[in-house]
Structure 1
Amino acid sequence: MTAPASSLSAHGDRHFDGLADKFAASLYGGVRGELRLALLDQLLPEMLELHGQPLLDVGGGLGQLAGWFAERGHAVTLAEPSGEMLARAGEFLAGQEVRLIQAPLQALPEQAPGPWSLIACHAVLEWLGDPRTALATLAGLLAPGGQLSLMVFNRDALRFSNVVKGNLEKALADRLEGRGERLRLTPISPLTHAQVEAWSAECGLAVRGVAGIRIFNDYLRQPPQSDADREALLALERRYCRVDPHWRLGRYLLYTLVRPATSPETRPPLPDTDKESQA
């Protein structure tokens, strides 16, 4: 299926109708997808306190993350704005008790208000026109003491990758964002660790843990050529994914953010969203 010339929503977000096959191949195909899933399988139990609590999976895409939590006894609500992606998620999750709702992140305070003790939002903010306000919206959905598992596309890693590929002028000019056009899957809002730290503090969220996903793989001159090489690469990724400075160049950064145990009536205000405040 051919994607439209622009896939941006009224909010300026990138949705994936017409791109499900390419999305699946790019994010989950080959070694990159294997590493991502294997590392999440290790890191989620390490970084989250899990005891079967209900989960809101924001921008749940093809359903892999929702399935992981559902298999471990969580009652999962998966929210996804793309009808095509949601249909694919429904096929993947057939037989599992997962509630599916078609809704963008901005509509969740009305369609899935919670408050939630556990929210997952993986590889979503980088596709939004206003990720700062989106994080504040997620914070407002959390119950006191609730946990947000947040994964974002790392802008610093994108810059480093461009240098490795020889795109020196592009890196020097900091022209790293995608434009959300045609079949390209470069995120429109890649984020830095400093932004996540600052915006989390604005929302009253504490950073309890951080890890890098694919800290070595994306800089290899060639992909692993044998099963032994793949196992060695996975071992390296696992060993150093939470070790400073290595985690800082992960293609994705995985966070556990926690809302302090305060009154559930008190929700963090949305920040000023003018362009200067997002710098």
Structure 2
Amino acid sequence: MVRQELVARQLDEQIAARFAVGRRLRVLDVGMGQGTQALRLARAGHRITGLEQDPKMVSVAREAVSAEPEGIRERVQIVEGDGRDTGVHFLPGSFDVVLCHGVLMYVEEPDPLLAGLARMLAPGGLLSLLVRNADALAMRPGLAGDWATALSAFDTATYTNRLGLEVRADRLERLTATLAGIGAPLHTWYGVRVFTDIAQDGTAPPVDAETLLAAEERAGRTDPYRGVAALLHLCGVRG
């Protein structure tokens, strides 16, 4: 809940800053998963294309779309495919906004993927990335009292996620250079889950969830707190 809500607020802020009020945007969601952000933007009137390679997630997303009113359903298209093959499915410059949330950690070499995403953007388009923060990998095990894992996390950019998979994280400095090199330089970045990263999956939101979100949102915009967030939300703009 915290991740999705914070990213939604941050994304809405960037869209409002870059596009005219009421403009219907063309949005590509690469690795759309269950479609949380895609459906939210479709409800706001935007036209969404979701690209997803996991058949199970495709099924979940299609079921979620089918539960929406007809006017929203007709604004969402789901394409089965790999995010690294956007050039196979779409023409360059076809989208105003490209989302890639929670995908880069599963890609061994992210630069070709990112270059392909940037090519999908029209001039002035917004690229929204949500990545695991490699500069904060020691925080979760350290706060949990797992000192050996915390010590080893300082010298690596890989980690074991909550699904038990060995995956990779990204550093802000390197991604900033990559975005500049592919023509979508970093415009703004946020931290996501500064205080709540150690909460167990399935934990019910507290009664004062809005206060929790306000604290997380403030921390995600404020140094030095945002630098130790579990996730980084980077927003690049196509030149």
Please give the TM-score of this superposition, normalised by the length of structure 2. 0.84
SS at structure 1 position matched to 2:98: strand
Residues 105, 220 of structure 1: alpha-carbon distance in 2 compared, 3 angstrom cutoff = closer
SS at structure 2 position matched to 1:217: coil
User: How many angstroms does 1:154 deviate by?
Assistant: 1.2
Partner of residue 61, structure 1 = 33
Partner of residue 109, structure 1 = 87
SS at structure 1 position matched to 2:42: helix
Residues 156, 213 of structure 1: alpha-carbon distance in 2 compared, 3 angstrom cutoff = same
User: How many angstroms does 1:152 deviate by?
Assistant: 0.8
Q: Which runs of 5+ in 2 are unaligned?
A: none
Residues 164, 103 of structure 1: alpha-carbon distance in 2 compared, 3 angstrom cutoff = same
Which deviations, in whole Å up to 9, do the C-alpha atoms of 1:86-132 show, x marking residues without a partner? 01000011142211111001211011234122111111111111112
Which deviations, in whole Å up to 9, do the C-alpha atoms of 1:197-246 show, x marking residues without a partner? 1111221222111111111112579x788513x34322211222211111
Residues 198, 168 of structure 1: alpha-carbon distance in 2 compared, 3 angstrom cutoff = farther
Residues 160, 111 of structure 1: alpha-carbon distance in 2 compared, 3 angstrom cutoff = same
AA in 2 matched with 1:101:
V
Greater fraction of residues in strand = 2
Residues 80, 185 of structure 1: alpha-carbon distance in 2 compared, 3 angstrom cutoff = farther
Partner of residue 44, structure 2 = 72
SS at structure 2 position matched to 1:93: helix
SS at structure 2 position matched to 1:188: strand
Partner of residue 207, structure 2 = 227
Contact 2:160 2:167 in 1 (8 A): yes
What count of residue pairs does the alignment treat as equivalent? Answer: 223
AA in 1 matched with 2:53:
P
Residues 113, 189 of structure 1: alpha-carbon distance in 2 compared, 3 angstrom cutoff = farther
Q: 2:163 aligns with which of 177, 181, 184?
A: 184
Partner of residue 136, structure 1 = 115
Runs of 4+ in 1 over 6 A off after TM superposition: none
Partner of residue 271, structure 1 = none
Deviates more, 1:170-179 or 1:91-100: 170-179
AA in 1 matched with 2:207:
D
- CA distance in structure 2 between the partners assigned to 1:79 and 1:225 by the alignment: 30
- CA distance in structure 2 between the partners assigned to 1:185 and 1:99 by the alignment: 31
Contact 1:59 1:121 in 2 (8 A): yes
- CA distance in structure 1 between the partners assigned to 2:139 and 2:9 by the alignment: 26
User: How many angstroms does 1:148 deviate by?
Assistant: 0.6
- CA distance in structure 2 between the partners assigned to 1:179 and 1:238 by the alignment: 26
User: How many angstroms does 1:159 deviate by?
Assistant: 2.1
Partner of residue 89, structure 1 = 61
Identity %: 30
Please give the TM-score of this superposition, normalised by the length of structure 1. 0.73
Q: 1:46 aligns with which of 5, 13, 18?
A: 13
AA in 1 matched with 2:14:
M
AA in 2 matched with 1:44:
L
Contact 1:159 1:176 in 2 (8 A): no
Measured on the aligned residues, the alpha-carbon RMSD in Å equals 2.4
- CA distance in structure 2 between the partners assigned to 1:128 and 1:226 by the alignment: 34
- CA distance in structure 2 between the partners assigned to 1:75 and 1:225 by the alignment: 31
Contact 1:177 1:186 in 2 (8 A): no
- CA distance in structure 1 between the partners assigned to 2:64 and 2:194 by the alignment: 28
AA in 2 matched with 1:163:
G
Q: 1:213 aligns with which of 186, 192, 198?
A: 192
Which deviations, in whole Å up to 9, do the C-alpha atoms of 1:141-170 show, x marking residues without a partner? 222221111111112222221222233333
Partner of residue 218, structure 2 = 239
Q: Which runs of 5+ in 1 are unaligned?
A: 1-33, 261-279
SS at structure 2 position matched to 1:78: strand
